[in-house]
Amino acid sequence: MSGLSSKKSREQLAKLAVIAVSGGLVATLALPAYAFNHEADDSATALRSPKEVSIQTLASTPTIELTVARDGYTAVKRNTIPVLVNRFVTLHPPAQSYSGQAVVDFAMQFVGVVPYGSGNSPTTSFSCDGLTQYVFKNFGIYLPRVVHNQAAMGVPISAADARPGDLLWYPGQHIGIFAGNGMMIDSPRPGMYVAYRAIWGNPIYLRLKATK
């Protein structure tokens, strides 16, 4: 009888050992990977570190030049500075809303009479933009002072499409009135009077928009 009890006890102990081992294995399998690999855990933490996030943010910020390499090709992005002339693009010049020849005839009376100066009146002086402002004001068209402001009131046209009364614009320098046949009327520079003279350089021809 005692032999049977001893045998039964051994079997029970063996079962308990199997259960214990199985339970330990299950517990082991249930543990997360980082419980066994501190190095992998450190690496995962590093990927989420504020330092790297900051670097990625800076790298995505637009700069003057940004180079991106991906899958065997490289793309380079460069910031561009808009040029004023690019604003004025047209294929079909608008019709003149005024009599261009009447503008030329009106401006001709100041040739050799009114000196160059900072004014916009024939009783004082004409700067280049002062002359154009005064002339067109008499046709119900208001032009602001300063060359590039007046140029912004027009639409670029080709030299072939230009008609007397259109504007001749030298970006950043000068403005005058196209008189036809390669001639212009303008107030040139200090020491000179309003002139009727040949067109010089490479001006941009402008047709004024229909503004009153």
pLDDT digits (tens, 9 = 90+) for 106-152: 999 999 999 999 999 999 999 999 999 999 999 999 999 999 999 99
Confidence of residue 156 (pLDDT cuts 50, 70, 90): very high
Does residue 165 surpass a pLDDT of 50?
yes
Range list of β-strands (E), the chain: 65-70, 73-78, 120-121, 125-126, 154-157, 167-170, 174-180, 183-186, 195-198, 204-208
Tokens of 63: 């700069």
Q: Are 134 and 126 in contact (CB under 8 A)?
A: yes
How far apart CA 95 and CA 3 sit, in angstroms, is 123
> Which amino acid type is present at position 113?
V
User: What's the Cα-to-Cα distance from 104 to each of 87, 90, 116, 147, 176, rounded to whole Å?
Assistant: 27, 24, 18, 19, 11
Amino acid identity, position 149: N
Instruction: Give the H or E element holding residue 8.
Output: helix 2-30
* Contact between 147 and 168 (Cβ < 8 Å): no
Distance CA 28, CA 105 (A): 102
Instruction: Output 54 or 105, whichever has higher pLDDT.
Output: 105
* Half-sphere CA count of 163, side-chain side, radius 13 A: 13
Does this model's pTM top 0.75? My answer is no
- For 65-103, what is each residue's pLDDT tens digit? 455 555 555 555 454 444 444 454 555 788 888 999 999
Confidence of residue 30 (pLDDT cuts 50, 70, 90): very low
Task: Give the distance from CA 141 to its chain's centroid.
Answer: 31
Contacts 24+ apart (CB under 8 A), 199-203: 199/168, 201/170, 203/168, 203/169, 203/170, 203/176
CATH 3.30.1490.20 for the 84-208 domain, yes or no: no
Instruction: Give me the residue spans of the domains in the chain.
Output: 2-78, 84-208
